[in-house]
Structure 1
Amino acid sequence: MTKEQHLQELDTFSRRYRYDMDYLKEFLLSSPEGFEKFANFRPLSYHREFLPLDIYWVSKLAAMQVADCGECLQLNVRMALEADIDKSVVQACLQGGSRLPENLKDIFDFATAVACYRNVDPLLEERIDAQLNKRQRIELGVCVATASVYPTIKRAMGFTQRCSLVEIEFAA
């Protein structure tokens, strides 16, 4: 892709999701070669093949709450709602997961523990094993791991003023 094509893609995404892409534009303009490698990574950050949609988004929202404190989380809320995740599920995730159905509460707790690099309670581990197969667990790991990439790059570039607590809106 050319620089202009990348900029157009970033602008389109920014308008669609009402999300400030200045940090990625700066990345592109400062290091076109680095950005090209990053662009090749981006599809991995939204890869979903084996996980059910609700499990994918509960995992993503749990991990994003660990990695980010506002704007990126809002983006993921918009994307989850756009993917037809029930608003009550999204809200329950943002409230710590306690109001989620038991199976999704386990996913939320597991994804949070993985994102925080905490040991997983053996009983939770058993319930996750009963709920997810090996391919799904790998995919959940990718989902959780990639959630931190965007906020980490943003913070490293000095865009922390955009990473502040915001009131999450639920209009998709």
Structure 2
Amino acid sequence: MIRYLLNKMLLTLTKHYHYDVRYQQDILQADLAAFLKFMGFQTMATHSGPVPLDALYAARIGALLSEDCGPCTQLAVDLALEAGVPPTIIQAIVQRDVAALPTEVALVVNFTELVLTRKPEADALREDDVLREEIVALWGQQGLIALAFAISAYRVYPALKYALGYGKACNQVIVAQQAVVPGKAPEQ
């Protein structure tokens, strides 16, 4: 009975977001305990703390794009739109057009990229340390934790899907009925 109810929840997700949940259904059917742990993990992934939604989705979408998963990125874009993040901001996040973003969102885009690439800077003071300090100044330690959760948790979804054989390459994302190529700012 519990599997039936959980599967019904997954089908609702599919219907609402047009998102392929077969990898979750496979987990549910093969190992209920593993699926319940996965559902528990979702509480970490959805934590937001005091970070504004546009900045939070900058971290989430940036993490997904780093793992090259189109369907997961599309779901995050759809969730951001549903949460009220303006399409222009989402498009700039996907394209990594930091010049088109509000300062705080650009800060999170740059911080997310540095965290994901772990590029040590030549100077004694690393750029990610400077950005981390700015984040703490804006939203406190709770904001830094929320962004750390977003970056680390959202990387799990594409990795899990790829490991289970459901990975898809990310070629374009649709933002408010407009196709957007990740990491490429529009031609001016």
Equivalent position amino acid for 1:41 in 2? F
| Consecutive unaligned residues in structure 2, runs of 5 or more | 121-125, 178-188
Q: How does 1:5-16 map to 2 (within 5 A)?
A: 5-16=5-16
1:74 corresponds to which residue? 74
Alignment deviations for residues 56-108 of structure 1 (CA, whole Å, 9 cap, x no partner):
11111111111233110011010100001011100000111322122211111
Residue 107 in structure 1 maps to residue 91 in structure 2: no
Residue 139 in structure 1 maps to residue 140 in structure 2: no
1:155 corresponds to which residue? 162
Quote the offset at 1:3 in angstroms: 0.6
Q: How does 1:1-172 map to 2 (within 5 A)?
A: 2-98=2-98, 99-119=100-120, 121=127, 122-160=129-167, 163-171=168-176
1:41 and 1:129 mapped to 2: Cα distance?
Answer: 25
Equivalent position amino acid for 1:152 in 2? A
2:68 and 2:13 mapped to 1: Cα distance?
Answer: 19
Q: How many residues align?
A: 170
Equivalent position amino acid for 2:102 in 1? P
2:132 and 2:29 mapped to 1: Cα distance?
Answer: 44
Quote the offset at 1:18 in angstroms: 0.6
1:145 and 1:19 mapped to 2: Cα distance?
Answer: 21
Does the residue aligned with 2:75 lie in a helix, a strand or coil?
Answer: helix
Check conservation: 1:97, 1:108, Cα contact below 8 A. Answer: no
Check conservation: 2:27, 2:35, Cα contact below 8 A. Answer: yes
Check conservation: 1:51, 1:136, Cα contact below 8 A. Answer: yes
Quote the offset at 1:128 in angstroms: 2.8
Return the TM-score normalized by structure 1. 0.90
1:134 and 1:113 mapped to 2: Cα distance?
Answer: 18
2:185 corresponds to which residue? none
| Consecutive unaligned residues in structure 1, runs of 5 or more | none
1:166 and 1:74 mapped to 2: Cα distance?
Answer: 11
Is the alpha carbon distance of 1:43 and 1:123 closer, same or farther for their aligned partners in structure 2, counting shifts above 3 Å? closer
* Percent identity between the two aligned chains: 28
2:90 and 2:171 mapped to 1: Cα distance?
Answer: 16
Quote the offset at 1:20 in angstroms: 0.4
CA RMSD of aligned residues (A): 1.8
Return the TM-score normalized by structure 2. 0.83
Equivalent position amino acid for 1:157 in 2? L
Check conservation: 1:69, 1:164, Cα contact below 8 A. Answer: yes
